[in-house]
Structure 1
Amino acid sequence: MKFLALISGGKDSFYNIFHCLKNNHELIALGNLYPKESEKQELDSFMFQTVGHDLIDYYPKCIGVPLFRRSILRDTSKNVELNYTATQDDEIEELYELLKSVKDQIPDLEAISVGAILSSYQRTRVENVCSRLGLVVLSYLWQRDQAELMEEMCLMSKNISDIESNTNLENKFDARIIKVAAIGLNDNHLGKSLPMIQPVLHKLNQLYQVHICGEGGEFETMVLDAPFFRHGYLKLTDMVKSSDGEVHNARLRVEFQPRTLNEGFLQTQLDKLPVPSVLHDNWQELLQVLTNRQMETRKIEVGNIISKNVTTTSINKLNGKMYVSNLQSHGSKTVEEQSQDIFAELTEILRFNEIPRNHILSSSLLVKNMSDFGKINKIYNEFLDLAKYGPLPPSRACVGSRRLPEGCHMQLSVVIDIRNTHSDKISGNKGGLHVQGRSYWAPCNIGPYSQSIWLSDDANQVSFISGQIGLIPQSMVILEKDPLCQTILALQHFDTLCRTIGAQKKLFMTCYISDKSIIDIACKAWALYCSDLSCDDKECLIIVKISQLPRGAVAEWGGVACGQLQIDENDYDREDGEDEDISCKFEELSLNIDFLHTITVGSFESQKQFITGFTGDKEELSLVLEKCSKLAQVTLYFNSEESIPFHHNVEYYPVEKVFDHHGKEHRFGLHIRS
């Protein structure tokens, strides 16, 4: 893709350009925002580094691409919410106007490079602007380990002896410290290169948790040279230091030095540039273990039966949430017409209950034919209208199921927060992870969904995680290796999301498989994953064989996780007369059903149970659903061609086969939440 690089002059924006080039994108322009009061070096912007802005005009000479600039005023960070929405007179709107102007002049501009590492504040704002302009965000430094990233930057930088002798043997990176504002850093560190200051930063990180890459504002840098500076570099001639308390600044004086590079030098440096492996080290080990084992190939016979079960919309209010399940449309209508019907019904349900659309937390979408997904997704996106209803769309799992009733193109179920429905907050009570930029971290969102959503006031941070498939994050192309690699990569992505948000306790897990050979791979991968984590979550998994997955994937992992349990069901003794939890009520029924996993989340006053179970007896299933209709919300995965009795408060999920975490087949699988 042809991209513009947002630059501040600092190391991160330029190092990200290098990774963009490594991933075969084409740099066509530079962009920068600078203080309108040009004599000012620091605007205390929440978003943009402006220290060293007087050197920015040299960079188009060095690189050979045009520079587009726009001025910003002091104190224009009007909207400081983490998840940004367009706000009049905010400095981010100046970024929007800058990029809009560039796109008008360069119509084939496709992407924007940004050097964010940890700052979600910066990332969400650039993504907001790019989303409005139809541009892709390239952020290859996002969520990188800072020590590892600094090591790589130093590896690709000029060595200390070259800098000290003021020679320029190669046009490697040369970033200099121009501002320090952290314990252990002083004016003696100004002007030093990254290799010079790296040992100091490691020591300060160990002593005081100073961010090695300066993500806490500990220091700022200015780049004098880079491998893609084809036409020249900046030679440091003088440095003027100043101090304000514990903050020390350096104003660099430089001269442009033209040069001619050997043909192919840039490609040589790109070949040397380290990039994270698609499968991380521990996941490579898991892959090796499974590869060394003799994997069983199990034949799964699947017919072309179309379910005759026509369900009714179910609405269940439970523990501050509303579960709207089984939204369908039937008859000889087109895919678009059925989609419009379903979203019209959901709109009416929300209107009747006086609930804004931004209170939808999670959605489950079944599509009879995945080739129709684009048509459905367009209407889905129009319904959410992120510009109007907020920047955090629901998490989502989407699969293809030929077992939907005849004449039904799709089914939608959603989970909605029904508290604080009159709040002025544009995102409601939601917290979330909505990363739209390409990186090495995990797949970005390329549609109207978030990677994860949770309630901001939930101490347990019960989080809905979107279904993850085996995409290579930096290219968003499906991994075309064997099914084992793809299945493990998809599980790695799910784990990465859980770790990023700090919600590693699994409550519900569903693995959707579209290939008959995946069942044993999924079981063994899950068992090893749980074993490595020394966790007891493995029994919360239901594996279902479905018809199709997005991008032709063979496996998709999705579910619900939380940050902390607070209490477990065994952490206290019940007094006489206290209410028993839902699992005990089921035991009283003496049901012939194997409840494999029960976990309690919350406090003594407010408990929620998450139960995973299986059965092969339809009569016993009916008893369970009848009992649950008064106590809980159920997702029922079923493969029976027989008619299934309808119960309220049940999401009916027609699939081809149902398995537990051992790979044992069942007629029915249940995820139950009280």
Structure 2
Amino acid sequence: MKFLALISGGKDSFYNIFHCLKNDHELIALGNLYPKESDKQELDSFMFQTVGHDLIEYYSECVGVPLFRRSILRNTSKNVELNYTATQDDEIEELYTLLKTVKAKIPDLEAVSVGAILSSYQRTRVENVCSRLGLVVLSYLWQRDQAELMSEMCLMSKDINNVENNTNSGNKFDARIIKVAAIGLNDKHLGMSLPQIEPVLHKLNQLYQVHICGEGGEFETMVLDAPFFRHGYLKLTDILKYSDGEVHNARLKVEFRPRHLSKVFLQTQLDQLPVPLSFRSGWEAPTQVSMKKSIEIRERRFEGPTSNTIARTSINKINDKLYISNLQSRESKTVEEQGDDIFSELADILRSNQIPRNHILSSSLLIKDMSNFGRINKIYNEFLDLTKYGPLPPSRACVGSRCLPENCHLQLSVVVDLKNTSNCEINRNKGGLHVQGRSYWAPCNIGPYSQSIWLSTDANQVSYISGQIGLVPQSMKMKEPSTDQTILALQHFDTLCKTIGAQEKLYMTCYISDESILDYVCKTWALYCSRSKYESDLWKNKTDDDKECLIIVKISELPRGAVSEWGGVTCKKLIVDDIDVEEQGGAENKNILHSFRKLNLNIEYFHDIAVSLPGSQKHFTTGFVDDREKLALVLERTSKSAQVTLYYSPGETIAFYHHVEYYPVEKIFDCDGKEHRFALHIRS
């Protein structure tokens, strides 16, 4: 893609350009925001580095692409919410105007590079602006380990003590310290290169937790040279130092030195640039173990019956959640007409209960024919309207199921937060992860859904995680060979959980589009849950009980032709575990648990977890049933105090229960690969 690089002059914005080029994107312009009062170096902007702005004009000559700039005023960080929405007179709107102007002048602009590492504040604002302009965000430094990242930057940097004797080193990355504001850093560090200051930063990190890449504002840098500075570089001639209390600054005096670097040299440097591996440390072992068995992945079209169950719309209130399930249109209409009917019904239900749309936390979308996904997604997106209802759309699982009733193109179910519904503006009780930029971290957001959603007032941080498929994050292409997709998708799920700090699994679903990978899925999940197999961080703190919360279902299709998708609900910490359920749970919750036990369900295929919240206790139960009468008994006994997701094969005829989300699938398996007639996730 053709991209504009947002630059501050600092190391991160330029090093991200390096990675954009590594991933075959084409740099066509630079963008910068600078102080309107040109004599000021520091505006204390919440968003933009302005120290060293007087050197920015040189970069256009160095790189050989046009530079677009726009001024900003002091004290214009009007909206300081983590998840930004357009705010009049905010400095971010100047960024929007800048990029809009560039896009008008360069119509084939497709993407924007930003050097965010840990700052969600910075990332969400660039993503908001780019989303409004139809641009892709490229943020390849996002969530990188700082020590590892700094080591790589130093590896690609020149040795400034030996430039005269090393021609190749003289054309490499060169960033200098221009500001320090942390314990252990002072004016003697100003002007240092990254390799020179790296040992100091590691020591300060060990002593005082100083951020090695300066993500806490400990230091700022200015780039003088880079391998893609093909037309010239900046030669440092003098350093003017000045201090303000514990903050030390430098103004660099430079001269532009013209030169010509060949494309061959740049390509050599790009070839040497380290990039993260697809599988993180600790994930190679399950890849190798699972790959010992040869698996044939092939397309199998389901030709069986459609669902016989009459799944009427269900509206069920449990604790502080409203579950709206089985929204379908049974009339023989076009995809768009059925979509309009379903979302109109959902809007009516929310309106009648005085619930704003931004209180939807999670959604489950079944599509009969995935070739209609784009048409349905358009209606879904218009319904949510992020510019009106806030920047955090619900998490979502979306799969294709040809088992839906005849003439039914789609089915929608949602989970809704019932707290503070009187406020129709942005739901400030909603927390989430809505990453829209490409990186090495995990797949970016490619639709109207968040990677994860939770409630900020929830002590357990019960989190709804969107379904994850095996996309290579930096390219957003499916992982090859396809057998690796299952592990990569589970790694993505794990990455999201670790990023938000909610790693305890309450219940999980793995959707597979080909039964031949069933054994592969079971082995991968068993290894993931086993604490005895490996000693790395990936495997510790996992117990065998974690296995039992998984339901594996064979469905017809997955987005992008994926072979598997992992989704589920996790939490930050468990207040109560399964051995305490009967003692600490309420009477109704114990009835649910006893229903399974009285039905002689094998404990191997039973899993129950409880989490405590102020004034209540919530259970998340997973189970399998192979007898229709026993299923009816479980559903009867849970009808007053639970919400059930019921997976069943389309040939089954099941009575309608108001508290059930009916989920027709082709086949159902437990975590060991044993087939069952019915599977249930129960929230009570």
Band of TM-score, shorter chain: over 0.9
1:607 aligns with 2:617: yes
Q: Cα distance 1:571–1:596, how it changes in 2: closer, same or farther (>3 A)?
A: closer
Aligned to 2:587: 580
In 2 relative to 1, CA 161–354 (structure 1 residues): closer, same or farther, beyond 3 Å? Answer: same
Alignment of 1:452-491 (within 5 A): 452-483=452-483, 485-491=484-490
2:575 is aligned to 566
Distance in 2 separating the partners of 1:263 and 1:394? 45
Aligned partner of residue 416 in structure 1, secondary structure: strand
Q: Is the 8 A contact 1:362 1:416 kept in 2?
A: yes
How many residue pairs align between the two structures? Answer: 671
The one-letter code matched in structure 2 to 1:6 is L
Q: What SS does the aligned partner of 1:251 have? A: strand
Q: Could you give the per-residue CA deviations for residues 479-523 of structure 1, whole angstroms, max 9, x where no partner exists? A: 13132x111000000000000000000001000000121111000
Q: 2:608 aligns with which of 598, 608, 611?
A: 598
User: Structure 1 residues 583, 131: closer, same or farther in 2, change over 3 A?
Assistant: same
Check the 8 A contact 1:297/1:520 in 2, yes or no. Answer: no
Identity %, equivalent residues: 74
User: Is the alpha carbon distance of 1:587 and 1:571 closer, same or farther for their aligned partners in structure 2, counting shifts above 3 Å?
Assistant: closer
Confirm or deny that 1:662 pairs with 2:662. no
Tell me, in whole angstroms, the C-alpha distance in 2 between the residues paired with 1:89 and 1:474: 34
Matched residue, 1:282? 282
Q: CA 1:334–1:83 in structure 2 vs 1: closer, same or farther (change >3 Å)?
A: same
Residue identity opposite 1:543 in structure 2 = I
TM-score norm. by structure 2 comes to 0.95
Structure 1 pair 302–102 and aligned structure 2 pair: CA distance change class (3 A) = closer
Alignment partners' CA distance in 1, 2:263 and 2:310: 67
Shift of 1:605: 3.9
Per-residue deviation at 1:565? 1.2
Aligned counterparts, 1:120-269, within 5 A: 120-162=120-162, 169-269=169-269
Q: Is the 8 A contact 1:158 1:170 kept in 2?
A: yes
SS at match of 2:192: coil
| Matching of residue 499 in structure 1 with residue 498 in structure 2 | yes
How far apart in 2 are the matches of 1:263 and 1:355? 58
1:441 corresponding residue in structure 2: 441
Question: Match for residue 354 of structure 1?
Answer: 354
**Counterparts of 1:167 and 1:364 in 2: how far apart (Å)?**
58
Inter-partner Cα distance in structure 1 for 2:41 and 2:137: 27
Deviation at 1:550, TM superposition (A): 0.2
Does structure 2 conserve the Cα–Cα contact (< 8 Å) formed by 1:177 and 1:191? yes
8 Å contact kept, 1:635–1:672: yes
1:252 Cα deviation after fit: 0.4
Change (3 A) 1:555 1:574: closer
- In structure 1, the residue corresponding to 2:269 is in which secondary structure? helix
| Cα deviations by residue, 1:503-544 (Å, 9 ceiling, x for unpaired) | 000001000000121111000000001112433311100000
What is the one-letter code of the residue matched to 2:223?
Answer: V
Q: Please give the alpha-carbon distance, in whole angstroms, between the structure 2 residues aligned to 1:332 and 1:602.
A: 45
Quick one: structure 1 residues 119 and 299, their matched pair in 2 at CA, closer, same or farther if it must change by over 3 Å? closer
- Return the alpha-carbon distance in structure 2 between the equivalents of residues 312 and 172 of structure 1: 65
- Cα distance in 1 between the residues matched to 2:370 and 2:299: 24
After superposition, what is the alpha-carbon deviation per residue over 1:31-51, rounded to whole angstroms, capped at 9, x for unaligned? 000000000000000000000
Distance 1:297 1:125, change over 3 A: closer
Kept after mapping to 2: 8 A contact 1:592/1:615: no
- Kindly provide the amino acid, as one letter, of the partner of residue 587 in structure 1: H
Q: Deviations over 1:312-333 (max 9, x none)?
A: 0000011111000000002220
* 1:645 aligned residue: 655
Structure 1 stretch displaced more, 92-101 or 418-427: 418-427
2:524 is aligned to 525
Task: Name the counterpart of 1:631.
Answer: 641
Q: Which amino acid aligns with 2:98?
A: L
**What is the alpha-carbon distance in structure 1 between the residues aligned to residue 525 and residue 560 of structure 2?**
22
Partner of 2:534: none
How far off its partner does 1:598 sit?
A: 0.4
Q: Is the 8 A contact 1:172 1:225 kept in 2?
A: yes
Contact 1:323 1:413 in 2 (8 A): yes
Structure 1: give runs of 5+ residues left out of the alignment. Answer: none
Mapped contact 2:164–2:170 kept (Cα < 8 A): no
CA distance in 2, matches of 1:502, 1:73: 37
Q: Distance in 1 between matches of 2:125 and 2:493?
A: 24
d(CA) in 2 for partners of 1:611 and 1:121? Answer: 36
Distance, in Å, in 2 between the alignment partners of 1:296 and 1:173 is: 46
Give the unaligned 5+ runs of structure 2: 531-538
Distance 1:377 1:263, change over 3 A: closer
Kept in 2: contact 1:611–1:671 (CA 8 A): yes
